Structure formats: structure tokens, C-alpha cells
A and B are shown apart, each in its own frame.
Chain A
């Protein structure tokens, strides 16, 4: 008996030690994860916090007193409102066009075998692996050499944004199309629907979530872009260009207000999307 107990005891001890070690290790990683998230959130918190600051002088670097004034009078800085409006207009138009163009490319790439498929893939991939400064610079040289056709301004920004968003749309929609059940379309065709009707009634609704995701990504990319836009904007100001200009003087808290507002809307959509995916996942599981 004693020999058994003696034999068991060290193992039990080792078990406890291992468990303690595992406990520490597990929690060390959790603590690290929370710290890392804190690091990611810190500047965001600062942006939001300083949107409520009433700065003592011109510089909004040091916390003074809390105020809602910046939010109420967010457009009291000359040029900020028109810059925000331009950003929203460009983002909306560019996203619509890029989502349409990108979805069509994705359909062709996944659904069809054709000569030039590899080249198409490469052409879609290249803009993603080119630094923004080079994309912006090359487009600028095109516009500088064709000033008789087009002047730098709203439409050159629009053209640039569609160009760099298309590739992101293709990748997003392609990922969805690859895992797509073609039997549904075949069934519709067997029931006498032609290709256009099948596309409209079956393919498009099934693609809608991926297109929406791609459009949201495109909108976010467009509204945030500085480098390409700055090079191709001419005298037109988007919100990031406005911030760049005013950062050389002193950034007013109204800039933080606009950035916070954009952030809060995006986070709300993101949370909504997480919730929606969770619910539709539960629903499809219920059907199956």
C-alpha cells in the first residue's frame, strides 16, 4: 500500500505543478492579449477623448476641460464640412462603381475558363502589391500628361479610388463564389429559368452578403485614403487632405469629432455585421 501511495504522490505533485504552470501560462497569454488590445485601442480612445477637450491654446495636445461644444459646432472650422461632404460623395460613387466592376471580374474568374485568366489574376493582384505612393504617382503622371482631357479634381480622385478598390472587391467576392453551391442555379435552369432570370433570382441574392461586405470595405478604404488622393486631388479637399493641411498649423478638436463620428458609425456597422453573421449561421444550422 505504502509503495503505491509513494509511487502516486510524486505524480500527483507533478500534476499540481503542471496545472499551476498551465494556469499561469494560460493567463499570461490572456493578459498579453488584453494588453495588446489596449495598445490597439489607446490612440482611438485618445482621439475620442480629445474630441471633448476644450484646449487652452491653439494646440489640442494636453487635456484641459470637458465640453460638448466641438460636437455641436463641428463645422465651425472653415472648409471642414465641404471636405467631409466630398469624402462621402467620392466614397459612395467609387464604392458603387468598384463593387459592380469587381463582382463581374470575380464572376468571370470563378465561373469561366478562358484564355487570359492568369493574366487577369495578375492584373488584379498587382495594384495590391504596389506601394500606394507608386500607384498615386503613376496615375498623377497620366493626368499631368492629359490635362487637355481631364483636370485634377473630384473626378480624378473618383477614378483613382475605383482603381484601387476594384482589386479588394474581386478578392472578397471571389472567396464567397468559390464556396458557392452551383446546384441551386442548375435547379433554376432545369425549371425553365433562363440565364438572366437565374442570375437575378438566385445568383445575385446569394452574392449579396459578399457584395455588401466588399462595398463596406471599399467605402472604408476610400474615406480613409490619403496618399493616392493627395497626389491626384489638385485643389479638391477630402477629409484626410483637410487634416494634412491643418496638421501643419494646429489640429482643432473638430477633426477629432469627425474622425470619432466615422469610427462610431463603422464600429456600429461592424458589430451589426458580427451579430447578423452569428444569427444567419444559427438559422442555416436550424434548417439543416
Chain B
């Protein structure tokens, strides 16, 4: 065995790669091809035929552009909310938590340990009409006496924000933690105020974390349908809800496939624009 590896050094990497790459090839790349193939079919379940039906895409866009735009708006708002909420926490853990650092990092990832659906359902309890939050908001007249939080856009966006918060907090923390404290001392020596030091040193140095965080928050958030399904109404439906329903309920596979492609394509275009704005180096780390 050892002799074999020694004599065929050039083959070794390919032997190591083969099983995993085959798996990804067959169950990730090939399915993408099938998705494309399905998206250009026509007919009614179960008799679909491949007919280069490009009109599937235009039909999908005219019928569901609202849900598509809504998905990106919700994901965008949630991503910004995540950044604003997570940055100070990540900053505190990186610079002020001292020996409590690892414990607080565990707190950040703790929501991941509760089944996604169950932790989203917990917001049903918290935001319920008879619940304490709604009661207090009604008492202080922020909400009308019959106002509610559930089944609103607010509930859906808050749900997305909560569920993807750790995706933002972790990369931001990692980039903050790598900052050399001597740089901040140097800034102070050069008469920068704490705020100026933060603005000129800390914030730019944490940019890679912010970029990574926004990406890994925004992409899954745009495709999410659980929050809209559990916390919203049909008026808050996102593109994920439509794709899911087309596949499993209305059995419109070509329509679902073309919508999936539109979603992926739009994200890809946004990614490229984002890369142009922030620079490719920051994007790939």
C-alpha cells in the first residue's frame, strides 16, 4: 500500500478527492442540470415534455415578481437589522468579555441547537395576541387596542432576523477578534478619540467580517419560507413559499424549476454587483 502511494504520488490527490467530488457532482451539479431541463418543459403533471419552453421564465416573472421582490426586501431589511444588532454584541465579546468569551460565543450559537421550526414557533408564543408583548404595546398605545404583531410583515422580518442572527454575529466576531490592540493604542497615541479610533481603525478592519456576514445572512434569508409560512399570512409570502408549493402542492414542476433558477440567478447577479462594490478580495477572504 505504502509503496503504491509512493510510486503513484500524482494519483493520490485524485484518489482522495474521488468519493467526495463524485457525491457533489452527482447530487449537486447533475441536479442543477436536471433543474434546468425541468424548467424548460411544458405540459401538465405527470406528462411533462421537454420543449425549450422559455416562456416558463417570463410567466413565472409576471406571476410572481411581487413575491420575488418581497423576498429580497425582507432579506435585505433582516440583514441590516442583524448587522446593527450583532455588531455591538460581537464587539463586546471580542474586546470586553475577557474570560467569558467562549461562554458568550456558545450563547450566540445556542439558537442553532433548537430545531429551526420549533424556535420559530416560539415566536408565536411571544408575539401572540394574548401574550405579554402585545399587551404592553397596546397599553402604551404603540399598538391599537385591536392591533397585533402576528401575521404581519414585522413578525416575518423579525423571525428572519432572529433565525439568521448567528450567521452575522460569528464572522463579525472573528474579524474583530483578529484586530491587533496595538493598532488602537497607536491611534490613541496619535490623539484619536475612542470614536475616531473606532471609525478609522476598528470598523475598516472588521469589514471582511461584515461582508462575509451579510452574504451568509442574505442568501439563505432570501430563499427562506418558514418564517413567512409560520409568522405571516399569504400577503407576506416569499419566493420560497411559491417554489415549495409548486413542487409539493400544485405539482407544477417546470414553473417551480424556473422560479428556482430565477432566484439563484438574481442572487448571483447581486453577488457580482456586491463583489464589484466591495472588492473581490474581501469577498473571498
Interface residues of A (CB under 8 A from B): 25-26, 29-30, 32-33, 36-37, 39-44, 46-47, 50, 60-62, 100-102, 104-105, 107-108, 111-112, 114, 120, 123-124, 126-135, 137-142, 144-145, 159-160, 162-163, 166-167, 170, 194-197, 220, 223-224, 226-227, 230-231, 239-240, 243-244, 247, 251, 255-256, 258-260, 262-263, 266-267, 270-271, 274, 277-278
Q: Say how far B238's CB is from chain A's closest CB, in angstroms.
A: 10
Q: List 7 A-B contacts (CB under 8 A).
A: A33-B104, A129-B219, A133-B243, A142-B30, A223-B115, A247-B117, A262-B115
Question: Which chain A residues border B219 with CB–CB below 8 Å?
Answer: 129-131
Given contacts A40-B107, A131-B222, contact A231 B20 (CB under 8 A): no
Nearest 3 A/B pairs, CB to CB: A131-B223, A194-B2, A43-B122
The secondary structure that dominates the A interface is helix
Question: Which chain A residues border B92 with CB–CB below 8 Å?
Answer: 29-30, 32-33
Question: Which chain A residues border B102 with CB–CB below 8 Å?
Answer: 274, 277-278
> Bound complex: CA of A36 vs CA of B116, how far in Å?
19
Contact across chains for B29 and A123 when beta carbons are under 8 A apart: yes
Contact across chains for A124 and B89 when beta carbons are under 8 A apart: no
B96, B118, B216: the one within 8 Å of A30 (CB): B96
B66 at the interface (CB under 8 A from A): no
B145 at the interface (CB under 8 A from A): no
Contact across chains for B23 and A163 when beta carbons are under 8 A apart: yes
Contact across chains for B19 and A46 when beta carbons are under 8 A apart: no
Question: Which chain B residues border A134 with CB–CB below 8 Å?
Answer: 35, 223, 260, 263-264
Contact across chains for B162 and A36 when beta carbons are under 8 A apart: no
> Bound complex: CA of A42 vs CA of B86, how far in Å?
16
> Bound complex: CA of A35 vs CA of B106, how far in Å?
16
Given contacts A29-B91, A123-B29, A195-B6, contact A141 B34 (CB under 8 A): yes
Counting chain B residues whose Cβ lies within 8 A of the other chain, the interface size class is 35 or more
Q: Say how far A272's CB is from chain B's closest CB, in angstroms.
A: 11
B76 at the interface (CB under 8 A from A): no
Q: Which single residue of chain B is at the shortest CB-CB distance from A217?
A: B112
B230 at the interface (CB under 8 A from A): yes
Q: Which single residue of chain B is at the shortest CB-CB distance from A259?
A: B118
Contact across chains for B110 and A40 when beta carbons are under 8 A apart: yes
Contact across chains for B256 and A137 when beta carbons are under 8 A apart: yes
Contact across chains for B223 and A133 when beta carbons are under 8 A apart: yes
Contact across chains for A43 and B21 when beta carbons are under 8 A apart: no
B279 at the interface (CB under 8 A from A): no
Q: Which single residue of chain A is at the shortest CB-CB distance from B243?
A: A133
> Bound complex: CA of A133 vs CA of B28, how far in Å?
13
B93 at the interface (CB under 8 A from A): yes
The secondary structure that dominates the B interface is helix
> Bound complex: CA of A102 vs CA of B131, how far in Å?
46
Q: Which single residue of chain A is at the shortest CB-CB distance from B271?
A: A129
B17 at the interface (CB under 8 A from A): yes
Question: Which chain A residues border B52 with CB–CB below 8 Å?
Answer: none
B225 at the interface (CB under 8 A from A): yes
Question: Which chain A residues border B273 with CB–CB below 8 Å?
Answer: none
Contact across chains for B263 and A123 when beta carbons are under 8 A apart: no
Contact across chains for A42 and B31 when beta carbons are under 8 A apart: no
Q: Say how far A236's CB is from chain B's closest CB, in angstroms.
A: 14
> Bound complex: CA of A143 vs CA of B106, how far in Å?
38
A102, A114, A194, A243: the one within 8 Å of B115 (CB): A243
Question: Which chain A residues border B226 with CB–CB below 8 Å?
Answer: 226-227
> Bound complex: CA of A42 vs CA of B162, how far in Å?
11
> Bound complex: CA of A270 vs CA of B110, how far in Å?
9
Question: Which chain B residues border A40 with CB–CB below 8 Å?
Answer: 107-108, 110-111, 162, 165
> Bound complex: CA of A46 vs CA of B126, how far in Å?
8
B257 at the interface (CB under 8 A from A): yes
B269 at the interface (CB under 8 A from A): no
Q: Which single residue of chain B is at the shortest CB-CB distance from A269?
A: B113
Interface residues of B in 223-251 (CB under 8 A from A): 223-226, 230, 240, 243-244, 247-248
Q: Which single residue of chain B is at the shortest CB-CB distance from A169?
A: B20
> Bound complex: CA of A127 vs CA of B12, how far in Å?
25
Question: Which chain A residues border B5 with CB–CB below 8 Å?
Answer: 195-196
Given contacts A44-B110, A105-B20, A129-B215, contact A231 B88 (CB under 8 A): no
Question: Which chain B residues border A255 with CB–CB below 8 Å?
Answer: 118, 121
Given contacts A33-B93, A120-B17, contact A247 B114 (CB under 8 A): no
